[in-house]
Structure 1
Amino acid sequence: MCSSPEGWIPEKTRAMGSQRTTLEVWAARCENSHWIEKSRHDFVTEADRQAEALIANALLQAVPESRVVGEELSPSAAPVGDVVWIVDPLDGTTNFLHGYLQYAVSIGVLVEGALSAGVVHDVARDRVYWGASGLGAWEGDRRLHVSGLTEPRQALVGTGFPFKNLPLLRRYLDQFAAIMGATSGIRRAGAAALDLVDVAVGRLDCFWELTLAPWDVAAGVVLVREAGGVVTTLDGSTDVLQHGSVVAGNPGLHKWLMDLLRSA
């Protein structure tokens, strides 16, 4: 087993390059592709499944004793093992199907149970963001930093609707109204991995969503934390890989956002 996540970053980046080729091939066929509705508002295509298989093979070849947990092919697999990759082969599938250029590949890695590294490939813009514990968060040779904004009235906040758990919609809309009234604006782009990238880069000051899976956030959480931000659940736990809420932000606004969400 590799002793440091730093050594795995090139392997993940190569997997991303292969994944980009797969998506380009399938994007050309997108209009004729078969939409499979997993649940209401939740779709999958052959692009997702082919891509996940390709990524899993690349990662297992790089670290043979590791394990892969992916959204499409192994969503119920337990993330147990010395090295566990958490893969979303296409975050923002509905965007992809509609030609809306906000979708990504996301790979996070647990090392002995600790979230240790992650990489997000913004496919449409061909940008790769990566981070690892103690090494910072990066895009190429540019180190990422969360914003320094501390005034809520100036803040731009990202979000996502709880489309997989509609009974939460009323609570979510109350939160949405509270944040809309307290900030400069809200953005909802439909790909949580890229929303978290935007927090890490400083384009968004905060982000929240009520129903996210581990593969939606594993890589992005590493990026935000390594860029100086804070990520918790709405209950304040730092364990955000439990199929639930995620609240991310810069250190000056995270607590403010938590308090407002809880009181809404």
Structure 2
Amino acid sequence: MSQQASLHPMLNVAIKAARAAGAIINRASMDLDILKINTKSPNDFVTEVDQAAEKVIIETLLQAYPDHGILAEESGREYGAKHSEFVWIIDPLDGTTNFIHGLPMYCVSIALAHRGVVQQAVVYDPTRNDLFYATKGRGAFLNDRRLRVSKRTRLSDALIGTGFPFRRGDNFKRYMKMFEAVMVECAGLRRPGAAALDLCYVAAGYYDAFFETGLQPWDVAAGSLIITEAGGLIGNFTGEADFLHQREVVAGSPKIYGQLVQILAPYTRVITAEEAEGDAKPADGKAAGKKKTADAAGVVAADAAAAPKKRAAVRIRKDELGGEGA
């Protein structure tokens, strides 16, 4: 029996939704000249394709599970049940800038969190028809192939993925310092421009690790489960599990992850509740606010805002990723 035939019912619905969104994206990629593009903020774009893909995902999910909640990049918490224990976390098109330019590196990302723990994850690359997916406790897969993180143990041999800051207000100088600190210690750095896909590349062993700042929950929720189910580790820059709302993430095979955390720990920056107030803005531009975002996703550590300014670097095991902030 193929792996596909024995998937969890909720994962099957997520795959159906991801493929429907991928079909919309593929059709639109054939005629980029007529694409309508809006600017959310400088260098941060949204297209009618993002919105159409998100619409079909939400419709597919709520048709099957009308009592579930939704946290989506373009519409925030506008759809779905507001206080459900089940929340779908959706990025309909991660890598919009690549898509606009015809660079075939973008994907659909869908995760399901239950009581704060990501249980199901799908990342679909429509250009390659590559389907990455995982169910908590049942492993991670690319199409029908089981995924495992790489076996490399030395950072000097490692290929590391990253993402450059691009929004106004991002701390470019801080990023350049950490970029240099990592670059001189590893075999190479890559920046394709779609974080959800980058995380899957860690799970598949294409990268040995990945780090980025400025990410939102929908960028990392699905990829985080796919990585841990492939035997990898994921956390914030000090190795703690509250990365989803801290806008910083590092992931990798266990040995490389530990070495990368040591390099990145000095660059960590605790996000306060006030700073997170602008997180997860719906399409109309009104801030959802951290409280609403956290309630919807069920995935933020309750004491994240009260975390100390200096935190010791710690290793996070796969079995520690449950509970709040996972």
> Does the pair score TM above 0.5?
yes
Q: Secondary structure at the match of 1:26?
A: helix
2:106 is the counterpart of 1:113: no
Q: Give matches, 1:27-42, under 5 Å.
A: 27-42=29-44
Between 1:241-250 and 1:67-76, the stretch displaced more is: 67-76
Structure 2 gaps, min length 5: 1-6, 268-326
Residue in 1 that maps onto 2:309: none
1:19 is aligned, of 12, 18, 21, to 21
Name the one with the larger strand percent: 1
Q: Secondary structure at the match of 2:214?
A: strand
Matches of 2:218 and 2:203, distance apart in 1: 18
Residue by residue, what CA displacement relative to the aligned partner does 1:121-173 show, whole Å, maximum 9, x if unpaired?
01110110101110110112211000010111110000001223544111111
Tell me: CA distance 1:6–1:39, structure 2 relative to 1, closer, same or farther (3 Å).
same
Q: Which amino acid aligns with 2:27?
A: V
Return the offset for 1:76. 8.1
Q: Give matches, 1:1-264, under 5 Å.
A: 6-74=8-76, 80-164=83-167, 166-242=169-245, 244-263=247-266
- How many pairs were matched up? 260
Return the offset for 1:79. 7.8
Structure 1 gaps, min length 5: none
Return the offset for 1:35. 1.4
Matches of 1:165 and 1:113, distance apart in 2: 31
Q: Is the 8 A contact 2:70 2:77 kept in 1?
A: no
Q: Provide the alpha-carbon RMSD of the alignment.
A: 1.8
Matches of 2:69 and 2:182, distance apart in 1: 39
Matches of 1:153 and 1:112, distance apart in 2: 39
Q: Secondary structure at the match of 2:171?
A: helix
Tell me: CA distance 1:162–1:135, structure 2 relative to 1, closer, same or farther (3 Å).
same
Matches of 1:230 and 1:185, distance apart in 2: 20
Matches of 1:212 and 1:164, distance apart in 2: 11
Matches of 1:28 and 1:92, distance apart in 2: 17
Matches of 1:151 and 1:256, distance apart in 2: 8
Return the offset for 1:253. 1.1
Q: Is the 8 A contact 1:81 1:113 kept in 2?
A: no
Matches of 1:84 and 1:169, distance apart in 2: 33
Matches of 1:80 and 1:248, distance apart in 2: 30
Question: Matched residues, percent identical?
Answer: 40
Query: After TM superposition, where is structure 1 displaced by more than 4 Å over at least 4 residues in a row?
Result: 75-80
Give the structure-2-normalised TM-score. 0.76
Give the structure-1-normalised TM-score. 0.94
Q: Is the 8 A contact 1:68 1:84 kept in 2?
A: yes
Matches of 1:204 and 1:26, distance apart in 2: 29
Q: Which amino acid aligns with 2:174?
A: R
Tell me: CA distance 1:230–1:11, structure 2 relative to 1, closer, same or farther (3 Å).
same
Residue by residue, what CA displacement relative to the aligned partner does 1:72-99 show, whole Å, maximum 9, x if unpaired?
1126889852110000000000000000
Matches of 2:78 and 2:153, distance apart in 1: 40
Matches of 1:92 and 1:121, distance apart in 2: 12
